[in-house]
């Protein structure tokens, strides 16, 4: 045990100096009572800085080429949009890296927005709304449940993610009802399965759902 001769106190653990007078301590240090955390090789902040730097270099380069050519061509616009998305994505990854559930949820919604945007601009909603989005919602909900189970989370801890996904997946029915989805089967099947899951939670696990939503809205 360490000892401060000035304050005449014994100090448990491992201290560089006396916690009271900040003077030197004598004696053998004990093993630290707290685990020592390893510093990550790349912290979120540095990842964010590197990606911001890359983005700026790319934007400056495109700006220079555009100035020389005196026009902003199609590929330049696409590169700018995609690099902004990639940059926003590193922000999401570094912000939610300790919360894998929030991370995959955010990533899947970015993916949905990206597919919708590309499909809307270039292919008139022929593949995203009919096929990709129904599959993405089913995959997201399945992954959420698998991941939460793997992390040994209780239903109460992750049910709000499911609620969120259920609410958004129901929006798939809007294009179906407006007759804008020419292949409505996947969207209807996907939403149907998801609503069955929602019904199961509401009927068999109402307590967990209520506790989780109470907690959620208290935070908000």
Window 26-85: residues binding Zn ion (CB under 5 A): none
Helices (H), 40-154: 44-69, 74-95, 100-118, 133-150
Q: How far is the CB of 2 from Zn ion (least distance, A)?
A: 10
Q: Does 4 bind Zn ion (CB under 5 A)?
A: yes
Candidates 7-15, 58-66, 90-98, 113-121: pick the segment binding Zn ion (CB under 5 A). 7-15
Q: Using CB atoms within 10 A of its CB, is residue 125 exposed (0-12), middle (13-18) or buried (19+)?
A: middle
CB 148 within 8 A of CB 159: no
Q: Does 11 bind Zn ion (CB under 5 A)?
A: no
Question: Is 5 or 206 the residue whose CB approaches Zn ion more closely?
Answer: 5
Determine, following the binding rule CB under 5 A, whether residue 20 of this chain makes contact with Zn ion: yes
The residue (of 23 and 206) whose beta carbon lies closer to Zn ion is 23
Give dist(CA 144, CA 125) in Å, integer.
27
Cβ proximity to Zn ion, 7 vs 188, nearer residue: 7
Under the criterion CB under 5 A, does residue 21 sit at the interface with Zn ion? Answer: yes
What are the two backbone dihedrals, phi and then psi, of residue 179, each rounded to the nearest 5 degrees? 60, 30
Please identify which residue in 11, 18, 136, 159 interacts with Zn ion, judged by CB under 5 A. Answer: 18
**For Zn ion, how many residues bind (rule: CB under 5 A)?**
7
Q: Sign of the CA dihedral 27, 31, 35, 39?
A: positive
- Angle between helix axes 133-150 and 185-204 (nearest 10 degrees) is 30
CB closer to Zn ion, 1 vs 56? 1
Examine residue 174 and tell whether it contacts Zn ion (CB under 5 A): no
The total of other beta-carbon atoms located within 10 Å of residue 168's CB is 16
Residues at the site binding Zn ion, with contacts judged by CB under 5 A: 4, 6-7, 18, 20-21, 23
């Amino acid at each position: 045990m360490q000892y401060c001769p000035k304050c005449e106190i014994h100090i448990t653990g491992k201290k560089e100096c006396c916690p009271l007078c900040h003077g030197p301590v004598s004696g053998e240090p004990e093993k630290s009572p707290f685990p020592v955390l390893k510093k990550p090789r790349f912290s979120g902040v540095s990842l964010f800085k590197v990606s911001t730097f890359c983005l700026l270099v790319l934007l400056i380069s495109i700006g220079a080429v555009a100035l020389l050519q005196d026009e902003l061509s199609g590929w330049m616009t696409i590169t700018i949009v995609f690099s902004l998305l990639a940059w926003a994505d590193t922000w999401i990854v570094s912000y939610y890296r300790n919360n894998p559930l929030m991370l995959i949820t955010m990533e899947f919604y970015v993916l949905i927005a990206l597919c919708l945007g590309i499909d809307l601009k270039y292919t008139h909603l022929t593949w995203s709304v009919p096929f990709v989005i129904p599959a993405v919602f089913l995959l997201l909900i399945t992954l959420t449940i698998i991941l939460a189970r793997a992390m040994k989370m209780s239903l109460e801890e992750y049910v709000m993610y499911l609620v969120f996904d259920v609410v958004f997946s129901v929006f798939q029915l809007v294009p179906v009802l407006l007759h804008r989805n020419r292949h409505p089967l996947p969207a209807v099947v996907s939403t149907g399965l998801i609503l069955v899951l929602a019904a199961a939670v509401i009927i068999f696990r109402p307590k967990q759902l209520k506790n989780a939503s109470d907690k959620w809205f208290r935070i908000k």
